[in-house]
Amino acid sequence: MPSDLQHAEAFSSPKTILVVDSEIIVRMTLSEYLRHCGYRVVEAASGEEALTVLKDSDLPIDVTLAEVELRGEIDGFQLAAWIRSRRPGIAVVLAGTPTRAAKAAGDLCEDGPMMSKPYDPQLVVDRIKRLMSVSP
Amino acid sequence: MLVVEDEVLIRMSLAVVLRDEGFTVIEACDADEALIALSTAPVDILVTDVRMEGSMNGLDLAAQVRSTRPDLKIVVVSGHLAADETHGIADAFVPKPYLAEKIVDQVKAILNGTDLDHAF
């Protein structure tokens, strides 16, 4: 059975990724890198925000990359279950840690529309750690 | 540029238009996220809504930023405040509802040092 990430990679040309993370440093860093890879990125800071985006059927989301632990009432698992039942065409990648999220973003970038040089997810991890160390 | 807006669809729509105009945009859903972003990322323009959940509203955020980062340009958007309520805090005020292009024009005017009708 393919993993969520393999499922995501199986999409021929994903164009828009919904990044769901309640840590702005993680969210903005992942989003920035995914945009560098050529994706359109939509950001959500909670499961509730993600549902608001996903319920707007005019938004063509191809992949949702979500942290498991989210602030608010809806966590990543619940979000994934909602997507599976209501928007089954959207691939879901759940990440339990920023490191895993960065690796998932790296895999998406390798399959991305504008990949021009090797992508090192460790750079994303290092940047997230550096930014978190200086945030208040 | 940092866009602070708690309505995700409004924030997303504005960010998309600003990115299409060539700006690098960081999105924050409230003032607390905004303060983290401001402490960790290079930001030269803040666009903030006023009514938001969190430890402070957008006008308080703008006032704090004005005192700590006087170099940073600030655009306040609100459907509840009048422009004169942001005097001394914001470089410009845009009433809600607005077209994203209005924010783009305002930001460009600020960067160019041009006064628009609704700029201070």
Domain A4-114 belongs to what architecture? 3-Layer(aba) Sandwich (3.40)
- d(CA A23, CA A132) in angstroms, rounded, equals 10
Gap from B82 CA to chain A (nearest CA, Å): 28
Tens place of pLDDT for every residue, chain A, 136 residues?
Answer: 444 554 444 344 558 999 999 999 999 999 999 998 889 999 999 999 999 999 987 789 999 999 999 999 999 999 999 999 999 999 999 999 999 999 999 888 887 666 555 567 788 888 888 888 887 7
Burial classification of residue A37, based on how many CB atoms lie within 10 Å of its CB (0-12 exposed, 13-18 middle, 19 or more buried): buried
What's the ipTM?
A: 0.89
Domain assignments of chain A as residue spans, ordered by start: 4-114
Domain ranges of chain B: 2-100
Q: Which residues of B touch A45 (CB under 8 A)?
A: 8, 28-29, 33
Identify whether the C-beta of residue A62 lies closer than 8 Å to the C-beta of residue A16: yes
Alpha carbons A103 and A12: distance in angstroms, whole number: 20
What pLDDT is attached to residue A52?
97
Q: What pLDDT score does B116 carry?
A: 60
**CATH fold of B2-100, please?**
Rossmann fold (3.40.50)
Q: Contacts of residue A46 in chain B, CB cutoff 8 Å?
A: 29
Q: In this complex, which of B12, B15, B36 lies closest to A25 when CB atoms are compared? A: B36
Q: Report CB contact under 8 Å: B8, A53.
A: yes
CB–CB of A136 and B36 under 8 A? yes
Residue ranges of chain B with pLDDT lower than 70?
A: 115-120
Name the minimum distance, in Å, from the CA of B29 to any CA of chain A. 7
- List chain B residues with CB under 8 Å of A136: 35-36, 39
Burial environment of residue A1 by CB neighbours within 10 A (0 to 12, 13 to 18, 19 or more): exposed
Q: Which residues of A touch B (CB under 8 A)?
A: 24-25, 27-28, 31, 35, 42-46, 49, 52-53, 56, 131, 134-136
